[in-house]
Structure 1
């Protein structure tokens, strides 16, 4: 029958057909939901004896199927065979409606629903519906807050086993996926996929409301919130709210003062990994981001973007209360305090208050006497970098600010002063 394709045992409830009577019998259980094989150690039950046998291994911890290509070990033969395909790249199940291929038949089944739009698995707690049972199961944890998969090395916990597996790599530092075009290595295959887009400059996820485009679907999702104004992650310690959970986590450190990322070259410490990365460039002097309009170069891409606006004159952030406009959103926010009179940064040594953190920092130096900016040509020191810059002009005789008056008017002004 494997040659002729004959399948004489047909299901009366669906289109399934089988070559063997016992396979037909097992299939019928999927319609009745009958699970006669029960586990003696927990409440689990299965429609097949093999399912129970594989389940029992989860109690004993036995993993008899070992991979010859890596250190992977598995309790079930099916899981082992699927794992081997991750090494060979084999994807035998192909979609008839597009070119997509899959290593699992179940993944193909769920993929086909993206064409049909079918979502048979519905949430009992909200109106959400999903094409896969596992997706529904994961969604339910967003209601219950359940995170059953816990890390043995730290307090992290996850709602999905795959996320725990990815997290564990952060402890080992393992980065098995290598880029063929540069020396970069990453811990996850999906990260390598996104890394390759930095070489191709491809940005397949485009915004329907503006010209923005992104290499990742999540980046587009967060970008759309800038149009809707939605900020779902709220701080419990103040009124701040953020688009991403990562941004909220970084913000909380401004309350706790925590700075876990320390520089190996000096005593500096930072609350975010990206801030440490940019700080290190102050030691190396690396400035990979170059301006196409002048010789300026910068250590950060965002700084280059703001610099280009000095050439174009673009100031996209406009004040609603006056004609002021700014190149940066943070500058607009600081300007807004001029109208509101808000001064959230208060001095612990006196009653002074300021609208910006940098102004408070400079003010505190008037109490401590600290003057970090020293002149290389004399012994004078200053609290701010701008004051040092002005002082250096007294040595160089540079006079960048010129009168708009004619020579005769200048002479009259100077004679009045004298």
Structure 2
């Protein structure tokens, strides 16, 4: 009758709890005393109530006597079945009084409340990390133990959490259940869709406190902060290189292994990074998606556009520390440094010539093969270099873009203007080391040297005369 009247005559003298039945009070008292008289004989677990031991034993036997009558699911405890039924009915009786969230289970509401209070009662005993849920602590512990009990049965990947395995499986099935309702993009993970939506809204909620940069993802902000701190936590164990991001280290490792997993299906080229393959494909398609907004130039790569923009701004941030030269690109500085060191790593395998730049070797090889791929469209001339064809075209057009600032002379080549300027300045940088003569052009010095050597390489083919 007390269940009808609500009467609870059995009062706990250690707290405010009260019970309608004496044995309920008896069980409750064990929460104060810590007494657990019901011991599992298959493991070290112990319980304050016999029913709890009975439920626990099913974890050993695998018994699941509680069957859902709406699907094939079975459960070891009646309470688990009751909670499961709410997934069919959609019932969520436990309402958060601080926001609109509602839950089918009381414990889920309890965990959720910690997002409002900030409470993190579950402490890792191996580091300072704390968590709002016991399950999160359990998952975290695997980062210390390295345990990954959930194995993918389609590849060698293993995971510490079931949800991570579930997401990974979509990489095999190609399943993308999260569809963007503003474009055709679809994603295998809800969080990826959420991040993608920011590309439509322009939202960047993660603001850098040291500069004006803002990001749509917390991880991007975290990586950006390393550009301020200089932190590089990912160390290569084969050389001294270190990186601020894990995937940069992964790509770097391929320089040691020589691995190039991304193969072009239109030629034999292969690449260590997917982005490099994507850029390379544009050499086949001719696509140039990066447009300069100051002129009509377009480029196949973003980096090329960035370098090109410096021709408008005349910015040259890469300074040589051995001379006054400065460059708009790091690669140009690197190549320039070889003019100081004399390094020529690119060796011709058909003669003794060596070059500081790969492209110079490639051009040189054409002197062996006779290849001249750049054909003039106005005459029969052909050239091994594109620049030479460009200069040649000026003989047809009469164009002379290099104007002397001291007289009316104009030239089709920059080098010709440079040599001409010496006629104004009187500069003669090419000095004969056998007499005091000096010349403004290297070719003139070369001709002069024959007056010392007596060399006469130019032979008349109609008589025996020869000339220097």
TM-score bucket (shorter structure): 0.7 to 0.9
SS of 1:98's partner is coil
Query: Structure 1 residue 152 and structure 2 residue 209: aligned?
Result: yes
Q: Is the 8 A contact 1:150 1:158 kept in 2?
A: yes
Q: Is the 8 A contact 2:198 2:204 kept in 1?
A: yes
Displacement after TM superposition at 1:215 (Å): 1.2
CA–CA separation in structure 1 for the residues paired with 2:388 and 2:292: 22
Query: Structure 1 residue 53 and structure 2 residue 110: aligned?
Result: no
SS of 1:3's partner is helix
The number of residue pairs the alignment matches comes to: 400
**Structure 1 counterpart of 2:262, from 197, 201, 205:** 205
Normalised to the residue count of structure 2, the TM-score between the two structures is 0.66
Displacement after TM superposition at 1:219 (Å): 0.4
Query: Structure 1 residue 388 and structure 2 residue 446: aligned?
Result: no
CA–CA separation in structure 2 for the residues paired with 1:405 and 1:39: 107
Displacement after TM superposition at 1:248 (Å): 1.7
Q: Which moved more, 1:335-344 or 1:96-105?
A: 335-344
Provide the residue aligned with 1:270 in structure 2: 327
Q: Is the 8 A contact 2:263 2:269 kept in 1?
A: yes
Superposed CA offset, 1:77-98 (max 9, x none):
7888878877876544432111
Displacement after TM superposition at 1:403 (Å): 5.2
Unaligned stretches of 5+ residues in structure 2:
1-57
Task: Please list, as runs of the form range in 1=range in 2, the aligned pairs for 1:18-417 lying within 5 A after superposition.
Answer: 21=79, 25=83, 48-49=108-109, 50-51=111-112, 53-54=114-115, 57=118, 91-102=148-159, 104-316=161-373, 325-328=382-385, 358-359=414-415, 362=418, 365=421, 369=425, 371=427, 373-375=429-431, 377=433, 378=436, 380=438, 382=440, 387-395=441-449, 406=461, 408-409=462-463, 411=465
Displacement after TM superposition at 1:201 (Å): 2.2
Q: Which moved more, 1:255-264 or 1:98-107?
A: 98-107
Normalised to the residue count of structure 1, the TM-score between the two structures is 0.72
CA–CA separation in structure 1 for the residues paired with 2:208 and 2:285: 36
Please say which structure displays the higher CA radius of gyration: 2
Displacement after TM superposition at 1:33 (Å): 11
CA 1:29/1:152 → structure 2, altered by over 3 Å: closer, same or farther? farther
Displacement after TM superposition at 1:205 (Å): 0.9
CA–CA separation in structure 2 for the residues paired with 1:35 and 1:268: 74
Greater RCO (CA < 8 Å, at least 6 residues apart)? 1
Displacement after TM superposition at 1:223 (Å): 0.9
CA–CA separation in structure 1 for the residues paired with 2:80 and 2:282: 54
CA–CA separation in structure 2 for the residues paired with 1:329 and 1:297: 21
Q: Is the 8 A contact 1:122 1:128 kept in 2?
A: yes
CA 1:258/1:312 → structure 2, altered by over 3 Å: closer, same or farther? same
CA–CA separation in structure 2 for the residues paired with 1:287 and 1:293: 16
Give the CA RMSD over aligned residues: 4.8
Q: Is the 8 A contact 1:151 1:157 kept in 2?
A: yes
